[in-house]
Each structure stands twice: as C-alpha cells, then as structure tokens.
C-alpha cells in the first residue's frame, strides 16, 4: 500500500494540474478575436450613387450635368435633365456632329427611358447605349462632355471677329442699292436723316415762296 506521503504528493500534483488547466481556459477566453472587416463605406457610397454607376463619372461631368439640367429651367433642382437640354450639352461638346451622331439618334435612345427627364444614373446608361449603338468610345463621349464647359446661349456664341464682320458687312455702302446706298458716306458712317430723305427749308423771300434756292435747281 502507498504511504501517506505518497498519497499527499499525488493529491498536490492533481491540484496543480487543475489550477493550470483553469488558467489556460481563462486565458483563451480573454484573448480577443479580431473583428471582421465591416467597413461599409464603399457600399454606402455605391448606394448613394445608384449602385456605383454614377461613381465612375468624372467630377466635371457631374457638375456639367447639374448646370445643363438647369439651363432654360429656373425651377430645376439640377438632378435630372430633358432631351433638349441633353442635345444642347452634346452639341456644345461636339458629340452631336450631324454625321456620326445626330439628334435623331439621341432622341431614339433617350425616349427608351419613357420619361421627359432622367437622372444622372440613367443618363449614364443612355450614353452607354448610344455609344454602343454608334460604335464610338463611351469614355471619349464622357470626356468631351466633361470638357464642354458651362452652358453657352446661342446669342453669346458668336466671337468678336464674327460680330465685327457682320458690322462691316451691314455698313458697307458698296453692298447697297437704290436709296439704301445713300444712307452712308464713303467711310461707312451713317448720314442720319439727310441720308433718308430730302430736307425742305421753310425760309423764303416773300410770303408763299418757300424752299429757298430751289428755283435754280429746277429751271
């Protein structure tokens, strides 16, 4: 039979093992587990931009979209544009050239959305379908429209040279015929009323005789 000392030693060893196992379990339980990556910023941005489609568009393009959507419509909130506003933008950006892409083409693909106005996400889809149908680069179309600048009205589109050419043409007396030719002198300066009609003088020598010095001109 085992002695009392041997039994005490076995009991102490068993107790030590139990304590060590307990410490190991506690240490494992306290060790923090790395949290899974829950960064949803990209998903949030994609949700805000309609599934990520709008997010790929250049900033200048998005800014021009707002400007052209308000062009000619003071009540517009800048979030959607019409076909006429789109055509205005594309003409200014040289996307519509009357050859490769025409207003007939834009009308066909714009009206597929069955709405008078479309938002930025749908407008991107419109450009995608237009570019695919006309076999042109979608990126090129978007870049041209991003570089188009702010809306310019037709009245402001004429250059200073064009305006001066128009003035020169309208004030060149050699281009006129008949009475219109008499309205300007040789330098192109207008003659005023003298160039439009004969001025009759009311002065005379005696009562009943008017238009002084006119007798010699008619006899």
User: Residue ranges per domain, the chain?
Assistant: 53-151, 160-195
- Structure-block tokens of residue 13: 């060893």
**pLDDT at residue 58, as a whole number:** 94
The residues facing 190 across adjacent strands are 184
For residue 145, how many other CB atoms are within 10 A of its CB? 23
- For 116-158, the pLDDT digits (tens) are 999 999 999 999 999 999 999 999 999 999 999 999 876 555 5
Q: Does domain 53-151 have CATH number 1.10.238.10?
A: yes
- For 159-168, the pLDDT digits (tens) are 667 777 888 7
pTM score: 0.49
Q: Is the dihedral of CA 176, 179, 184, 187 positive or negative?
A: positive
Between CA 129 and CA 124 the distance in angstroms is: 9
- For 74-94, the pLDDT digits (tens) are 899 999 999 999 999 999 999
- For 23-72, the pLDDT digits (tens) are 544 544 455 554 444 444 344 434 444 444 445 899 999 999 999 999 99
């Amino acid at each position: 039979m085992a002695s009392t000392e041997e039994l005490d030693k076995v009991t102490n060893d068993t107790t030590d093992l139990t304590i060590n196992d307990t410490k190991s379990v506690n240490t494992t339980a306290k060790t923090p587990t790395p949290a899974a990556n829950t960064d949803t910023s990209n998903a949030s941005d994609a949700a805000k931009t309609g599934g990520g489609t709008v997010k790929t568009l250049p900033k200048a393009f998005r800014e021009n979209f707002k400007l052209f959507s308000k062009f000619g419509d003071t009540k517009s909130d800048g979030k959607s544009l019409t076909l006429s506003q789109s055509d205005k933008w594309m003409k200014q950006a040289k996307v519509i050239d009357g050859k490769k892409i025409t207003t007939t083409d834009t009308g066909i693909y714009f009206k597929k959305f069955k709405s008078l106005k479309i938002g930025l996400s749908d407008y991107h889809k419109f450009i995608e379908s237009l570019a695919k149908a006309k076999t042109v680069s979608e990126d090129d179309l978007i870049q041209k429209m991003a570089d188009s600048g702010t809306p310019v009205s037709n009245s402001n589109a004429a250059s200073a040279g064009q305006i001066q050419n128009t003035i020169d043409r309208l004030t060149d007396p050699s281009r006129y015929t008949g009475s219109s030719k008499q309205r300007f002198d040789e330098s192109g300066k207008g003659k005023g009323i003298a160039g439009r009609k004969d001025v009759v003088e009311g002065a005379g020598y005696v009562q009943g005789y008017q238009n002084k010095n006119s007798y010699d001109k008619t006899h």
